[in-house]
């Protein structure tokens, strides 16, 4: 279902300025992103990708707390997933994270990879930028995309974001049901213990 490929991600600005007109004054920020699947090695983590130069990267670097809102129109269900984001850039030093980033890059269509070569998001659009956006119109063969943005050359602006979910608010509009799920953290003394979820039905 096309709608299920997208969800909203909410973050907060790092700066808490009292100037209401200040773009970085602690306002919440929300945007729609493409669901890129659950992390292969850890199915509790939701993933999406973004440009290293985008403002959401700065938001999540300063404050890892975020919330995902995911609505399924067919079943009329809403899921709000709260957790902590890990932004994996080309400067990340964790080998496991870098492997996850590489795997995510390879899963993307070549044309989608090319978006990370576009001009910086949010800057004024100028005539000299048009050539970058015209690539989608000019290239007809998928192999040409692959030659331009191959699987083995991860562009430096490409970021993988993983969200470690620890709370889920599930609303069923059809049946007027609502459930809260909270994940218990692993016991540090027993690393093999699985994360347990506690569920509570609440009024919608």
pLDDT tens-place string over residues 46-61 = 999 999 999 999 999 9
> What's the pLDDT score for residue 1?
54
Question: Which residues in the chain show pLDDT less than 50?
Answer: none
Residue 157 in contact with residue 182, Cβ under 8 Å? no
- pLDDT tens digit string along 54-90? 999 999 999 999 999 999 999 999 999 999 999 999 9
Considering the entire predicted model, what is its pTM? 0.87
Tokens 């192999």, residue? 143
172-184: burial string, b at 16+ Cβ within 10 Å, e else: eeeeeebeebebe
Give me the helices (H) in 28-94, please: 55-62
* Tokens (6 digits) for 68: 């995902």
């Amino acid at each position: 279902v096309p709608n299920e490929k997208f969800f909203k991600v909410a973050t907060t600005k790092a700066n808490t300025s009292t100037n209401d007109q200040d773009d970085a004054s602690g306002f919440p920020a929300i945007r729609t992103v493409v669901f890129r699947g659950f992390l292969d090695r850890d199915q509790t983590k939701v993933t999406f990708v973004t440009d290293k130069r985008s403002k959401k990267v700065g938001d999540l670097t300063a404050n890892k707390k975020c919330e995902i809102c995911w609505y399924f129109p067919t079943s009329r269900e809403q899921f709000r997933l709260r957790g902590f984001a890990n932004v994996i850039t080309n400067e990340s030093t964790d080998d496991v994270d870098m492997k996850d980033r590489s795997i995510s890059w390879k899963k993307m269509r070549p044309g989608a990879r090319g978006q990370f070569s576009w001009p910086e998001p949010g800057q004024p659009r100028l005539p000299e930028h048009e050539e970058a956006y015209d690539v989608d119109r000019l290239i007809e063969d998928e192999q040409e995309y692959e030659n331009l943005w191959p699987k083995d050359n991860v562009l430096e602006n490409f970021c993988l974001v993983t969200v470690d979910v620890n709370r889920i608010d599930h609303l069923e509009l059809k049946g007027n049901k609502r459930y809260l799920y909270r994940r218990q953290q692993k016991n540090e003394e027993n690393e093999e213990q699985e994360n347990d979820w506690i569920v509570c039905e609440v009024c919608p």
